[in-house]
Structure 1
Amino acid sequence: MTITEAPRVKDRRSLRSPVVYAASLLLGLAVWQALASVYGAALVASPVDTVRAFGELAADGTLGNSVVASSRRILVGWLAGLLVGVPMGLLMGRVRIVRALLEPYIEFFRFIPPISFVTLAVVWFGIGESSKVVLIFYTSVFIVVLNTIAGVLSINEDKLRAAASLGAGRVQTLRFVVLPAVVPHVVTAARLAMGNSFLTIVSAEIVASQVGLGALIWTSRNYGRIDWVFVGIVTLGVLGFLFDRVLRIVATRALRRYSVKV
């Protein structure tokens, strides 16, 4: 390949992704329209009907309020899960006695779905924001803890011994050996926790909220508005896609020195 050909190849590759995304989107819309034609509007709202319902809900502010409410709950609970889960995972990964003490509880609670605690969350924290945020935190923290522990335990013991032989203290070992190994696992945990947060917010809002995408979907179901239900579902997917993209971009740029690629 000559020097003049290299930029052309790079340009073709840069154009390839948007074309593939556009083709994928058109194919998805075609399948969606076909399903709507087969099953009818009573079961599957068509893309046109969904767009029309989207405009209807956006015009009266229902959709905007729902997006803001759900996004706020997800972000607060998710961030709380990260802030608690990462230090806990580092501590459990580095100190065996702490891991031995806490691991049974982690293994017990992580298999209990958040929806089973919805009623208790409402009783304990009320029907306000706290109950939803606590459920998001619950669904996020165990994922972060387990992935952080996995990152710590994956560190080669030779690196730890080499750092100790060079006179590195605990803080220096944590900074220069442990964190570079753990950061990629934490980023992966953050993405997984974000996905689980979207799964949890719907069930939480259905039971204990008047505003939010979950509440919108449930209310639409009660009124028999399948097109509104599809608006809520599509909005959740788009919102999750955007959140994940932003997280990937921020993580890649902010943690470049740790060679994070997501």
Structure 2
Amino acid sequence: MTSNSRLTLITGAAGGIGRGLVERFVAGGDRVLAHDRDAEGLRALSAGYGDGQVLTVASELSDLDALRAALAPLTAAHGPIGAVIANAGSAEGLSLAATRAEVWRRDIELNLHASYCTFEAALDGLKATAGNIVFIGSVNGLVALGHPAYSAAKAGLISYAKSIAIEYGRLGLRANVVCPGTVKTPAWQARADKNPQVFEELKKWYPLGDFAAPEDVAEAAWFLASPLARMISGAVLPVDGGLMAGNRAMASELTLELF
């Protein structure tokens, strides 16, 4: 790890996609600030890396003052944050009927408000380095696929990223969104326990006939955060096996052809 390594903040780092992100950015030469509310998960994560490659941050992500306080000693010691991968999120309310006010508030707070706090906490560093932020959104933010509060929050991330892109672009600061489809992570375990065939049944909706792995999401985020994407800002990149390209089953029924 060189002294001029970029300092990258990754939230939700102890989860399935988060671990893939940390691995990719460390492999690319970055020093990673790994944030998660799961302190034990962060300890296990950092144990797999060399000294100083992964620095852990356990704080409340939706509390801006607390997040700034947690990051301050790390940025003082290691320099400004040059990239942010805002990955933290989860879904609770399965449908509108099942979404009570408190469920709505929690889903919006973690999936949208916490991303606002993440950006604001890193903003001074991103300005100083002409850095960039990549939000990990979801195809749920593009079409209705259940989890309405989560979906509304992910749709909000797209609008928020575009606002960042136009307001801070003059400083060289970029903002983009990666929208994964189904990704096989531990978060899906409850559904797999309920229906062991859930993944096989879902594959028919994906033109590529398969789902993304955490590594696929990480590669997309790495690209958008890299100099290779220096002219890309305010963009939305699905990583979804072609799901957002259209509905194969419906197309077959409309054309009376089997695709």
**TM-score class normalised by the smaller sequence:** under 0.3
Query: Which is strand-richer, 1 or 2?
Result: 2
Q: Which has the larger radius of gyration?
A: 1
Higher relative contact order (CA 8 A, sep 6+): 1
Query: Which is helix-richer, 1 or 2?
Result: 1
TM (normalized to structure 1)?
0.26
